Structures are given as structure tokens and as C-alpha cells.
């Protein structure tokens, strides 16, 4: 189980941030070659990201690159560079239908074969940014075995829906649809960016909502949000204590050859054991909630 609570966006053209962002310890770092890069900087940003991906300091952290759409002059060039550089995950923006993912997957496999990289080692993530993308969320989520998650992009979705960001009501259906699609497909779900980095109260309120809904994590634009997010996702001491007792009961049942797991007179099934394992994993990564 890979923890993906935080995915920190880094502008691909910002050399200083590319060389230091690992110190903030997000679960994943996403180098952005799309919206965060102006047209005149596309080529230089691609080169910077190509070299950053090969830097040893990023070997211990999951790397993601948001490429430009493949139907632009930059998308395929981005893909060639980042796959050859060894990126862990390619994030496809503006994914409206499964055929968008099929086209990406075909190109990724070709590049892997050409550069000698293990076929299938490059993973994929789709960003859903439109009404049609939300409608097709499950088809997108199940469109490739390489898919590790789908992400909702709030700004473009709101523009497409002819609304604007507010208290979250405008995103509620999309959040639920994307989350259900991801869970049905057995992959991760990532929530939208919270753009006001000075509004910690609003950020934590939104994090509490998406955590309770069941989202794996959230895209971030500022390192200051990482610790807040990780703490909000950390289990309580009571959660950890219960999880340990569940795991102990499961291990005892297996050791004794019992087909039924019981704890304090209550039956424990596989989903509860899996949830306990996730709780302990989060506690190991970030401690218990402060």
C-alpha cells in the first residue's frame, strides 16, 4: 500500500524549486509542464524536469509529471523526455474519455521499448477536468492496468460547469463520482488544489471533508500545506490501539488455523483487517494526530 496523501505541484520551469523540493517530504512530487509553464518556457522546463528526474535525491520519493495534452505541440515531446528520464507516474491533463488514456498508453509503451525501460514500469494518472470527464470517470479509471489514480481538477471543472469555487457545494457531485469510480476500479483518488495558501482554517475544513468522504489524498501547491494535510490524515491514538488489536486477533486466528476472526466478541472480516493495516501504515509515516 503506497501512501499518497500529498502530491506537491512544482512548476517545471522553476530550477530552484526543482532542486530543493524533496526536503519538504510530500508523498509524491509532481513536476508540472502544463499550466504552470508559459509557452516560451516549455522547452527549457522540459529539459529541467528531465535532469531533475535523474537526480539521486528523488530516488526515495514518487515522481509524477503532468505533461501537456498529446494534441498540443508539446505533449509528445514531454512524454518522450520524462519516460526516458525514469518518471514513476505520468499525469494526463484534461482526460475526457478512456480513448485519451489508450493513446497515452500506446505512446508510453513504444518509448519504454525504444529506451530499454521495463514495459509497464511507467504508471499513469488521469486528471478529470470537465463534465464529460466526470460522467466517464469509471471508464477512465479502468482504461489501463497502468492507472494508479484519478484526480479531480476543480478550476477547469467549474469553468466547464459555468460555476465558480465556493463552499464546496459546486464540487460535491464531481467529488463523489470521481471517488466512486476510483474505488470501484481499485485505484487512488486525489482531490483538488486549495489555492488560498494563507487560509489554513478553510484548507483544513476541506481536508476534513475529503478525508471523511474517503479520498486518498490531495494535490497541493505550497509546501506549508503538507504538514497540515499529513496531520489531518494521521490516525488518533485510539485508532492505532484498535488497529493493533485487530491485527493481533487476525494473526492469532491464522496461527491457530481458525477461519473466523473475533475481537471482544465481534466478528472481524478482511476489510476491517485491511483498514487496520492502513491505519498503522499512516501512523508509521506521520505519527498520531496532534
**Average pLDDT, consecutive stretches of 10 residues, N- to C-terminus, the chain (290 residues):** 90 92 92 95 97 91 96 97 98 98 98 97 98 98 98 94 91 97 97 93 96 95 94 91 89 78 80 88 83
Which residue's entry shows cell 489531518? 232
The domain of 80 spans: 6-233
Asked if residue 144 belongs to a domain, the reply is yes
The reply to whether 188 and 139 lie within a common domain is yes
Claim to verify: residue 158 and residue 248 sit in the same structural domain: no
pLDDT at 249: 85
29 and 54, same structural domain? yes
Residues 146 and 116 in one domain: yes
Please indicate, yes or no, if residue 1 is contained in any of the structural domains. Answer: no
Residues 126 and 248 in one domain: no
Q: Helices in the chain by DSSP H: which ranges?
A: 15-20, 42-53, 75-85, 98-115, 131-135, 137-141, 154-160, 172-185, 200-213, 224-233, 237-255, 270-286
Same domain, 221 and 252: no
- Name 128's bridge partners: 152
Asked if 152 contacts 171 with a C-beta cutoff of 8 angstroms, the reply is: yes
Domain membership of residue 217 (yes or no) is: yes
Q: Give the pLDDT score at 1.
A: 67
Q: Which residue has the cell 526536503?
A: 23
Answer yes or no: do 143 and 272 share one domain. no
In this structure, the number of other CB atoms found within 10 A of the CB of residue 25 comes to: 17
Does 72 reside within a domain? yes
Distance from C-alpha of 95 to C-alpha of 34, rounded to nearest angstrom:
14
78 and 173 part of one domain: yes
Q: How far apart are CA 172 and CA 33, in angstroms?
A: 28
Residues 125 and 183 in one domain: yes
Q: What is the pTM of this model?
A: 0.89
Which among 91, 21, 104, 5 has a CA at the least distance from the CA of 60?
21
Q: Looking at the structure, do residues 207 and 72 belong to the same domain, yes or no?
A: yes
Amino acid at each position: 500500500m503506497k501512501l499518497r496523501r500529498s502530491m506537491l505541484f512544482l512548476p517545471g520551469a522553476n530550477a530552484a524549486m526543482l532542486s530543493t523540493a524533496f526536503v519538504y517530504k510530500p508523498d509524491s512530487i509532481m513536476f508540472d509542464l502544463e499550466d504552470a509553464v508559459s509557452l516560451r518556457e516549455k522547452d527549457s522546463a522540459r529539459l529541467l524536469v528531465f535532469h531533475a528526474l535523474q537526480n539521486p535525491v528523488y530516488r526515495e520519493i514518487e515522481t509524477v509529471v503532468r505533461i501537456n495534452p498529446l494534441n498540443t505541440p508539446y505533449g509528445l515531446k514531454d512524454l518522450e523526455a520524462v519516460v526516458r528520464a525514469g518518471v514513476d507516474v505520468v499525469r494526463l491533463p484534461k482526460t475526457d474519455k478512456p480513448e485519451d488514456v489508450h493513446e497515452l498508453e500506446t505512446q508510453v509503451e513504444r518509448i519504454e521499448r525504444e529506451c530499454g525501460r521495463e514495459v509497464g514500469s511507467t504508471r499513469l494518472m488521469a486528471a478529470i477536468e470537465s463534465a464529460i470527464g466526470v460522467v466517464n470517470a469509471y471508464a477512465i479509471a479502468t482504461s489501463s492496468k497502468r492507472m494508479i489514480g484519478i484526480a479531480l481538477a476543480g478550476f477547469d471543472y467549474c469553468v466547464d460547469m459555468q460555476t465558480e469555487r465556493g463552499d464546496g457545494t459546486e464540487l460535491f457531485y464531481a467529488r463523489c463520482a470521481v471517488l466512486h469510480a476510483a474505488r470501484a476500479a481499485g485505484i487512488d483518488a486525489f482531490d483538488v488544489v486549495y489555492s488560498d495558501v494563507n487560509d489554513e482554517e478553510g484548507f483544513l475544513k476541506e481536508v476534513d471533508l475529503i478525508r471523511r468522504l474517503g479520498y486518498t489524498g490531495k494535490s497541493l501547491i505550497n509546501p506549508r500545506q503538507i504538514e497540515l494535510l499529513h496531520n489531518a490524515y494521521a490516525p488518533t491514538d485510539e485508532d492505532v490501539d484498535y488497529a493493533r488489536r485487530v491485527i493481533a486477533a487476525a494473526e492469532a486466528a491464522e496461527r491457530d488455523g481458525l477461519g473466523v476472526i473475533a475481537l471482544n466478541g465481534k466478528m472481524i472480516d478482511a476489510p476491517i483487517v485491511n483498514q487496520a493495516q492502513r491505519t498503522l501504515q499512516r501512523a508509521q509515516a506521520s505519527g498520531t494526530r496532534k
